[in-house]
Amino acid sequence: MEVEVCRKEVQIEINDPTYLIQSLRHPTTCQGSSSEAVVYDDPGSFDQQGRRVSLKSKGKRQRMYHWDAADLLRREFEHLIPLASFTSGSAMSSSARAADRIRIAEIEAETQKLESAIHALRSERDVLQTRLNSYKYPVSTSLPNEIISEIFVHFLPVYPLCPPSSGILSPTVLTHICRKWREIALASPLLWRALRFESMDDNAGEEQIRVLASWITRSGSCPLSIQMDDHIHMSNTSAAKILEVILPHRARWEHINLVLAPSHLLNIEGPIPQLRELGIRIPHQVAPLPFTLQIAPRLRVVTLWDFPCPSQFLPWSQLTSLTLVAKEPHECTSILAQTVNLVHCKLVISGSGHGLPDIRLAFLESLTLIHFLVEELPSTRYLTTFIVPALRRLQIPQKFLEHEPVQTFSSFISKSGCQLGEVRFKGPTSRRDKEMWRAEFPSIEFTFNGDLIDWYSDY
């Protein structure tokens, strides 16, 4: 608020100075807004109704108050009016007053626009808040605990796949939302039955072992899925500590993949009644191990990595799916001779396969045959040792079919008496060769240079 007081120098006769104070508190005019100029006339003033009153009174002549009047104005209105406005001098020009009025009008207009915008934003906020207040969260705390627990289970990867031990996809994140969710999660054994080790060095392994132990405790009596990643570094100390934690629960092992030192393998010998899937890798092991795992009546799926297996290593005849990695063809043949009920087979072979006996697998439906090292020459004659009348799907590099691939492939089909439905050739294939294969075997669906598929995982 900006008010300028234009004061004339006057002489005032007065008996009581309070008249002057009263006249200064009630200006001559105050039209329009508070920014209008206020003018005090002389030699009198106005009362509260705007009537002129005389400042003359009977009695002796008093001193002049012209300077004191400005001081009184300053004292009376200094909290509202800048001090500089009370200086004596020339009056504000009409053009300046007109410019101020125009600016005031602009400010008023802009203020109305802003107030309208604020009102619109507040209205929109109220609508959005009402919508949020009416929203029902998917996992409401009003749901029964059993329903919330089932929803939590579907948050995790499908068992036996293992969630990470930490992070947004770990079941531990469910314990950090609220007290009720934490209580439900900790009391839900199915959330903690699948565990994966991503590191086994001495430092990071200690933390994962601690997590593993707590998860196994929370899993109650549920069957367990325990996975040690094939690529992890393993120290003997960490492996021993892991076995110390999981061995007391071997009766609950259902899906397990172990990366062990040879000295630790003997520790797992004995009955494993619920075991369905087993994977074992023993790096740098050359000699066969005196180890057997015969009491596993539910075992069906096995993966063995790069170590020699004794003939009585596993109950081979009950297996339906077998993967052998980094095995020489003669080792594979020795094992496959005992897997009479095999349905899915994947062989990653190393070395040649000449002079081997035939392998008859009456129930085999899918066969994957590849070489462990790309630079090695393929065992071109190994495929022809298979007699697989039920075979429906085959994955193989074309170089396994010798120099006359069509003839070799046709001979293999005739010998087995199978009706192949799908063949995936690994490796580069020219357009002319693709057309040739499809023309020679129109009933077979061919895929060229595609990714390998673990067909047994579909079952």
Q: Which has the higher per-residue pLDDT, 57 or 442?
A: 442
Residue 182 burial by CB count (10 A; 0-12/13-18/19+): exposed, middle or buried?
middle
* Amino acid 351: pLDDT: 76
Question: Which pLDDT does position 185 carry in this prediction?
Answer: 95
pLDDT for the residue numbered 216 = 95
Residue 445 has pLDDT above 80, yes or no: yes
Farthest CA pair distance, the chain: 149
Residue 245 has pLDDT above 50, yes or no: yes
Task: Return the higher-pLDDT residue of 451 and 401.
Answer: 401
Average pLDDT, the chain: 78
| Residue predicted with more confidence, 61 or 156 | 156
pLDDT per residue as tens digits for the range 384-404: 899 999 999 999 988 788 778
State the average pLDDT over residues 52-62: 43
Question: Phi and psi dihedrals of 422, rounded to 5?
Answer: -145, 135
Dig out the tokens for 82 from the structure.
């800048």
Give the confidence band of 230 by pLDDT, cuts at 50, 70, 90. low
Is the predicted pLDDT of residue 107 greater than 80, yes or no? Answer: yes
Tokens of 57: 């009174």
pLDDT tens-digit map of 288-326: 676 778 789 999 999 998 778 877 889 999 999 999 998
232, 265 contact by CB (below 8 A): no
Q: How confident is the model at residue 58 (pLDDT cuts 50, 70, 90)?
A: very low
Q: How confident is the model at residue 257 (pLDDT cuts 50, 70, 90)?
A: very high
pTM of the model: 0.66
**For the stretch 109-140, what's the b/e string if a residue is b when 16 or more beta carbons lie within 10 angstroms of its beta carbon?**
eeeeeeeeeeeeeeeeeeeeeeeeeeeeeeee
pLDDT, tens digit, 9 for 90 and up, residues 2-22? 444 444 333 344 444 444 444
Write the single-letter amino acid at 93: S
Residue 171 has pLDDT above 90, yes or no: yes
Is the pLDDT higher at 451 or at 210?
A: 210
